[in-house]
Amino acid sequence: MENKLAWREVDLSALLNNLKIIKEKIEEKVEIIAVVKADAYGHGARVISRFLQKEGIKKFAVAHIEEGIELRNYGITGEILILSPQLYYSIPYFFEFNLIPLVSDLFFLEELGKYAKKLGKRLKFHLAIDTGMGREGILPSDIEKARNILSKYSELHLEALSTHLSTPENKKDPYNIFQKELCQKIYNDLIDNHGIYFHVSNTGGIFNFPELHYQAIRPGISLYGYGDKKLKPVMEVKARVTLVKEVPAGWGIGYGHTYITQENMVLALIPIGYADGYRRELSNKAKVIIKGEFFKVVGRISMDQFTVNVTGKDIKAGDVVTVMGREGDKIIDAQELSILSNTIPYEILTGFGSAKRLCTVYRFRGKNLKDPIEELGL
């Protein structure tokens, strides 16, 4: 990356490690629905989904229908589940691109049935039940109404039921008990003798509630390295120092002079800012790694750059900076940055991932890949 000022590094070996750990947590018969929404949490859905497909994953999930169409265009041949509610005018695309809707309301279910009947085509779908997340899904009290609608449309095939846990990362939250009991009741009432399956567990459920694995799980953030200590972060963010300069004592640094030097200080300028996903909340809090040492951010994060204190160290323009990632025994991960930013790792990863200025370098088994699709035969 000699000619780049800032970039993302995505390590497919870490992704493979995480997939292995997830598989070890479940029984062999439990299927994996890999969640690759939001451009695979900022890691690049084209490469990530094709890599997972080569590793045997046959089911994928995204948030919106546009993402499902993209996966088809990327060459994904397995099942693609659209997790979020879509409007009725999206219905033709489910048929055209062989996508599976996760149905969350009775009106959409009826419209889906009408369209399938008009075409004379069969369509698989999953039915979402709201067991306490308060987001997508019909209420348990509406299940009978859904059954009545289905009785009119033989073209609709109910493949699975789904629900979403609201606080699975916190084993002690009493609401988990309520959701677990309701899930089990739905399972007993609707699934045992009807040839359909149930998927409940996201990352928190996978690692904390094995009794809720049922027939399929939906790993998201765990694929990318967060949710358990054995997992390895897949994304790193790096840059090159663009300027080194000395300023005198009493000198204000950055907008608003939120940092004022107490003595002469040598600053290094790093060409990443909040437009690239490096959040403004990290001002005067975060650190970076250069040549195996931590250096503290001083002053406010700007739109496209920030400064660190490198006084007394041999740091030069062009030196590589680890903004997020590991260098030797030093590590800065999305969890640390999220705590400093009062947010969650998901937002850190997708923030870096959506930065257009940062190119992505894929790595596998220690080697940089110029074209991962071709070199790995994806």
Q: Establish whether 255 is a catalytic residue.
A: yes
DSSP per position, 99-119: -EEEE--HHHHHHHHHHHHHH
DSSP 26-69: S-TTSEEEEE-HHHHHHT-HHHHHHHHHHTT--EEEESSHHHHH
Q: Which of 4, 37, 180, 224 is catalytic?
A: 37
Name the token pair of 46. 């084209």
Query: Measured between alpha carbons, how far is 314 from 290 in angstroms, rounded to an integer?
Result: 10
Between CA 248 and CA 21 the distance in angstroms is 52
Q: Is 8 exposed, middle or buried (0-12, 13-18, 19+ CB in 10 A)?
A: buried
State both tokens at 44: 């690049």
User: Using CB atoms within 10 A of its CB, is residue 313 exposed (0-12), middle (13-18) or buried (19+)?
Assistant: middle
Rounded Cα gap, residues 127 and 291, in angstroms: 52
Tokens 């300027």 sit on residue: 243
Q: From the candidates 23, 255, 278, 316, which is the catalytic residue?
A: 255
Q: Looking at residue 250, what DSSP letter applies? A: T
Tokens representing 71 are: 């996966």
Active site residues: 37, 255
